Amino acid sequence: MCGIAGILSRPRGQPPQARELSAMIGRLAHRGPDGNGIHLDGPAGLAHARLAIIDLAGGAQPLANETGSVWVTFNGEIFNFVELRADLVARGHAFRTQSDTEVIVHLYEDHGERFVEHLNGQFAIAVWDRERERLVLARDRAGIRPLFWTEAADRFLFASEAKALFALPEVPRRLDRRSLAQACTFWSALPPGTAFEGVQSLPPGHVMVVTAEGRRLERYWDWTFPSAHEAAPADDRPLADALRELLIDATRLQLRADVPVGAYLSGGLDSAIVATIVRRFTGAPLRTFSLTFEDEEFDESGFQREMVAFLGTDHTSIRCTRADIAAAFPRAVFHAEAPIVRTAPTPLMLLAGHVRAEGYKVVLTGEGADEVFGGYDIFKEAKVRRFWARSPGSASRPRILERLYPYLRHSPAAGRAFTQAFFKEGLEHANEPWFAHAPRWTTTRRIHQFFSPALRESLAGWDPYAEIAGRIPAAAAGWVPMGRDQYVEAHTLMSGYLLCSQGDRVAMAHSIEGRFPFLDHRVIEFANRLPPQLKLHGLQEKYLLKKSMAGLLPESIRARTKQPYRAPDSQSFFVAGRPVDYVADLLSPARLADAGHFDPVAVGKLVAKCAAGRAIGFADNMAFVAILSTMLLEEQFVRGGEGGKGAPACAPGLLAA
């Protein structure tokens, strides 16, 4: 995994300079501490910060084809590069390295911008075609690796992270109010928007071609689902067997590396499957890592120990306290470069630091299984609510919701009257593509009540549901309802938050490359073709996935109800009823008023509620974390004037890795 950056000057723009590219890639040293390189070619300049994973001695970038007419700077891994290389050699291409990167330039020679369709991997790619004078940007199908761009002073600029763009003084640094409203609704900004005005993201599964005349954006891949008329087969065992073989192959591919590969072991089903496949079906050594918490509500160490004993893995874990979260949170926000509504990314950043300290650069995780195979309670909610919507006056149908969220101390389904009032909202919209997500977004959108009057006024008329509906393909009207639910989940929470703020960004803060076998596009396509009954069987989540692993996992793990990864939120930032110092400063009335995003009086009441330990629900906790993270962004990227030049300090020793 690496960091990339570059400049393409238009006719009236200044040609890129080495010092500019050095400044940009210097901001990404955490993504690539093993070396960097720059290539200048007239109007184009490419830069690269390397994290050496494959071809440790010879894989330096930017890298060219045989003639120097095609150059690439690349962040990610091409897992099928061995097979691609053999085919390219057979067709007459000459290779100078053993790197997966080199297949990109040769595929581009043969296929042009459609080269990306041949890749199995996770990537953000920039190809400079010197003869055609065009820059081609591409991002992987699921959105695992980030890629940002902007235009300033008649030049097109791109980078793995926004902070590299801010290395150039002509790029303004202002928070984007519409994106803030989106993050405080959907948990992240919707692409191409980002936290910053004028900075845009390349959406997952897209290619952008940039020339002196302009730019063109095209989608090359997307999630799609069957119609509502397809039924589950009478015998689903062949499908379970096929799924297991596909997961084994995906995991084998993602073990390709010239450095040791570890794995996260959370205690849940998904990471257990990945670790089990490594142990039983590959010859790779199994080194595992996990998080534990001082708060029993969040801790899964018992299940972790069970899997460690079952697999006999070499394992270590780190214990995360509330004080750890408070101390490390500013750095997590700095790397996320986005408002975040939960603290959960922070412990994962600390875990990545531990992994790096243990001498590892790569870890496999179970991320993506819930989105691909229907593991979240949101899918169960939607199924029950659609059942309820067919008889909205029923008193018995909504009681099924009380079976959800058994792992929560303060469950939204704990009280019958509250449950029915909460989940009944929007019941009349059962056929809308966003139906499943309305309860979650309603809760998150309560953050808007803390917005300043000026911010609220700027959002007048904004309809989040209309915005989402406008992003759903027309074909979705014929999909099974669960397919629409999964599509929205994959294009909002998964790509915008889980793979970004809670994935790539906090792992790469410590130069750790995460790999995700469940997000192999072949696995996604296989799962998307399945009838929904094979994902959500009654209220049993991930039915076929669990069946595919029968006899391979402890039954207590295989049959375990999904418990999402969570961490302590607002309670992490108070000691004996007082906020930690930087929180008190950032959330003071003067600082809030100066920034202009939030109402100081409303926020003051929320802080007092959190200090008294009375913020026990999702809405209050998300509001507190969202406000604090936004104020940190303002401080780190706007008010500080350095544009993200360096990571903020944290408690001594916490992030030493």
Residues designated catalytic: 2
Cβ-based neighbours of 620, under 8 Å, separated by 6 or more: 570, 606, 609, 610
Distance, CA of 348 to CA of 365 (rounded, Å): 12
Distance, CA of 11 to CA of 107 (rounded, Å): 29
Strands of the 314-320 sheet, one edge to the other: 314-320, 287-293, 261-264, 362-364, 513-515
H-run or E-run covering 363 = strand 362-364
Q: What residue has token string 């306290």?
A: 321
Asked whether 101 and 124 are in contact (CB, 8 A), the reply is: no
Cβ-based neighbours of 238, under 8 Å, separated by 6 or more: none
Asked whether 37 and 59 are in contact (CB, 8 A), the reply is: no
Q: At how many degrees (to 10) do helices 81-90 and 102-111 cross?
A: 50
Distances (CA, A) of 500 to 31, 138, 152, 336, 387: 14, 17, 25, 7, 34
Distance, CA of 626 to CA of 586 (rounded, Å): 13
Distance, CA of 502 to CA of 347 (rounded, Å): 10
Distance, CA of 265 to CA of 273 (rounded, Å): 10
Supply 655's token pair. Answer: 């992030």
Rg of the chain in Å (alpha carbons): 24
Supply 589's token pair. Answer: 């009335």
